[in-house]
Structure 1
Amino acid sequence: RDGKELRTEILVKKGALRNLSVLAKDFLPQSCHGAVNFLVTDTIIDPIYGDLVVDGLRNAGLTVFRIIVPADSADVSGEASGEPHKTTAVMLKCCDEIIANGVSKHSCVISLGGGVVNNLCGVIASLIYRGLSLVHITTTTMGMFDAAIDFKQAVNHPLGKNLLGCYYPASTIIMDPECLASLSERHVLNGISEALKHGLGQSVELVELIAGPLRDHGPAMLRDVDYLERVCKNSVETKCPTLDHYHSSDFNEMVPQYGHAVGHAVEHISWAGSEHKPLLHGEAIAIGMCVSAEIALLLGLCGEDCVEDHYEVIQTVGLPVFVPSSIGLDAIRKKMMFDKHFVQKPVMGLPAELGCLAHRESAGKRSYAWAIEDSVLEAALVANVSRRESVPPPPLSNVSVATVFSQAAGQDCLC
């Protein structure tokens, strides 16, 4: 933030968890070495890595208190998930345990798990004593490729995803690609979606690094630790510049949020009733990116080839591209009103071409944020559903053409 430099060290190392007794004091802030530190993990990760990590930290001479939060071994999505427990109730229970078990201003909160545990610990660390040290040991693609790297921390609210949170960076993030071998194929893809987000918004080279091997060799690559390590390192290198000088450009917000305005709404609705098949976060974001491309096409910000590339690349990777038939389009539009960027209209980043967001000059400053009229959003959702049903979408004339071109006026699609 302005006036204060915040630094995060990131270690990507095979076997890091097996060598914590050697590494721990290097990655834990020195001020924490004599304090009680708090490892937070969940009921899925703890049986796999809990003892290994606790023993490693203690063998390094650190005092560690372990807290285990709930996770579902097979939730209604059919996958292991902590998402239903990313709540204020779980967060406050963790705070109770930390406060009751010797916390001091020198304590560190250490997350061991995926994006849910990483986010939960980020909120906890920011609240106690107005800020404790935070370290992530992340074990999933969602954590390694996106969630743990970011300084956005949040828990869910009944009205929407990630509505309660803060900006709070970890001092260190540990990524051991060997952990990814324990994930289901669906959970591997869950994080790959977020890596692909940065490719589609920033780097066509990252898009090809992700999609090329899967196009050539199929889903077997999702079990290739070397491939996943390459994706991890390149995702970190691509994402990190959006965190530096964060407030200097809305590009640094629109890229990480690409596909999220629609995606968060679709994800939240998918968990809301038995008539839906719940979507993992990355699956919903993949759908959101396809709808975002449809919006960009309607606004004249990109060509048809960009939209087709979105669908082809995301399907090639193995992620969904269509709004599920059980989810009504009106429900999506209403749920989007709870998006944090909604200001009378949804606001989002949109593509100009693969690997590049559209921008325009506004008051002498380059802007990547686009406010979307409801008629355009509706037309984009209809276009997505029409592709799902293989029915041609309504002609552009059915959309308010005056609205479309007034939004696009002054835009500059060059990257």
Structure 2
Amino acid sequence: MERLFIDLNDNSYMISIDRGLLGNLQDFLGEGDRWVIVTDENVDVLYGQKLMQLLKDRKVEKIVIPSGEGSKNLQTVEYLLKTMLEYGLTRRSKVIALGGGVVGDIAGFCASIYMRGIPFIQVPTTLLAQVDSSVGGKTGVNMPQGKNIVGSFYQPQTVVIDVETLSTLSKRELISGIGEVIKYGIIYDYNFLEYINKNLSKLFALEEEVIIKVIKRCCEIKAEVVSKDEKEEGLRKILNYGHTIGHALETATHYKNYTHGEAVLIGMYYEALMAKKLGYIDESYYKQISETIRKTGISLEIYRTPLPVLIDCMMKDKKNKDGKISFILPEGKGKVTEVLLTREEIISIA
């Protein structure tokens, strides 16, 4: 089993990575008076009953929400909080977030505000969640005006990554996770980017040695970044590469046309193109980034979303400054920088 320690002083925790960890989940729960598993309809079919049976000797309840980004809203938060109260959860109780990024984000947010905060455990079941959203303590929900507008920084008690859950994912869901994997190579570790290029087919095939190495390295990079900047006041912003355009795409299409990972992959491609046009990277590195993204098989066409609409959505991004839109753009191999652009500047380079 691979283990990583996330050093955040009083908020520190361990990430455990291996095959078959779901079957040993009771070893990671710690002390408590009650536990509630928050999951979605798809994951519940696969693992819900299995875990309830496994944890039958503890006081465990389960709450199931509809699958998909459409559930990540304040209405679902209210439903979860009411149900947690009905189940009698106290300050000694714990939330188990079992699922992908939507489940982790909303379950973590509810844990952060229930009785002013109770512990929660991340058990991510998608590649996207395992390499990104389950690590770092960002929780929250979407509003019609934008993605993750309401939320909190709230670290999990522990993260349990069972790579066996990836075998149930569709190719589309794998592509979504691989987008975030590629991002880490571009923003932080050029050697890792080259490793991904060399082993992309093995990654899609979920070869155990490769998948565990990739997940561990992604978690290491995020841990290094988050330990230096837990609340995104500086360095942590580099994790937003691809997200300015990606979040705008999700918002403009009402979270219906793209998965989060697909939107970020498209955002990474166009933000690399912006970096080339602005002179931050040369043609050769731009081609390497774009070819790596294209090798995932994703379509990079943006359908029925005019540029003015995308810019309107970007203007509402919480990371903007002084009326300018914040982009994280590549500026060298394994390096990125923040660039602030006006609406007019974006139109001029589009």
CA distance in 2: counterparts of 1:107 and 1:269, whole angstroms: 38
RMSD, aligned CA: 2.0
- Give TM-score, length-normalised by structure 2: 0.92
Which of these residues, 124, 132, 145, is aligned with residue 159 of structure 1?
145
- Give TM-score, length-normalised by structure 1: 0.78
CA distance in 2: counterparts of 1:248 and 1:137, whole angstroms: 22
CA distance in 2: counterparts of 1:196 and 1:167, whole angstroms: 25
CA distance in 1: counterparts of 2:65 and 2:204, whole angstroms: 32
Which of these residues, 54, 61, 76, is aligned with residue 90 of structure 1?
76
CA distance in 2: counterparts of 1:9 and 1:126, whole angstroms: 19
Which of these residues, 15, 19, 22, is aligned with residue 17 of structure 1?
22
CA-CA distance at 1:19 after TM superposition: 2.6
Say which SS state the counterpart of residue 136 (structure 1) adopts: strand
Q: Deviations over 1:156-212 (max 9, x none)?
A: 111111111111010101110000000001101111111211111001122122221
**CA contact 1:157–1:163 (8 Å) conserved in 2:** yes
CA-CA distance at 1:220 after TM superposition: 7.9
Aligned to 2:30: 29
Say which SS state the counterpart of residue 300 (structure 1) adopts: coil
CA distance in 2: counterparts of 1:250 and 1:318, whole angstroms: 35
CA-CA distance at 1:307 after TM superposition: 1.9
Aligned pairs for 1:267-282 within 5 A:
267-271=250-254, 278-282=257-261
CA-CA distance at 1:4 after TM superposition: 5.5
Say which structure, 1 or 2, has more relative contact order (CA 8 Å, 6+ apart): 2
Asked whether 1:182 is paired with 2:168, we answer yes
Aligned to 1:168: 154
Aligned to 2:246: 263
Say which SS state the counterpart of residue 115 (structure 2) adopts: helix
Aligned to 1:283: 262
Say which SS state the counterpart of residue 319 (structure 2) adopts: coil
Say which SS state the counterpart of residue 334 (structure 1) adopts: helix
Task: Return the index of the structure with the highest Cα Rg.
Answer: 1
Which sections of structure 2, spanning at least 5 residues, go unmatched? 1-7
Aligned to 1:110: 96
Aligned pairs for 1:315-330 within 5 A:
315-322=294-301, 324-330=302-308
Aligned to 2:50: 52
Q: 1:303 to 1:250 in 2, by over 3 A?
A: farther
Aligned to 1:308: 287
Aligned to 1:356: 335
Equivalenced residues, count? 342
**CA contact 2:37–2:62 (8 Å) conserved in 1:** yes
Q: Deviations over 1:138-170 (max 9, x none)?
A: 110111010111211111111111111111010
Aligned to 1:371: 340
Q: 1:196 to 1:185 in 2, by over 3 A?
A: same
Aligned to 1:410: none
**CA contact 1:13–1:177 (8 Å) conserved in 2:** yes
CA-CA distance at 1:349 after TM superposition: 1.8
CA distance in 1: counterparts of 2:151 and 2:246, whole angstroms: 19
Which of these residues, 319, 327, 335, is aligned with residue 341 of structure 1?
319
Q: 1:119 to 1:371 in 2, by over 3 A?
A: same
CA distance in 1: counterparts of 2:159 and 2:231, whole angstroms: 24
Give the letter aligned to residue 188 of structure 1.
L
* Identical columns (%): 29
Q: 1:379 to 1:141 in 2, by over 3 A?
A: farther
CA distance in 2: counterparts of 1:320 and 1:62, whole angstroms: 47
CA distance in 1: counterparts of 2:118 and 2:272, whole angstroms: 40
Give the letter aligned to residue 305 of structure 1.
S
CA distance in 1: counterparts of 2:311 and 2:250, whole angstroms: 13
Asked whether 1:221 is paired with 2:204, we answer yes
Aligned pairs for 1:179-258 within 5 A:
179-214=165-200, 218=201, 221-246=204-229, 251-258=234-241
Aligned to 2:5: none
**CA contact 1:41–1:69 (8 Å) conserved in 2:** yes
Q: 1:51 to 1:251 in 2, by over 3 A?
A: same
**CA contact 1:178–1:225 (8 Å) conserved in 2:** no
Aligned to 1:63: 59
Q: 1:252 to 1:222 in 2, by over 3 A?
A: farther
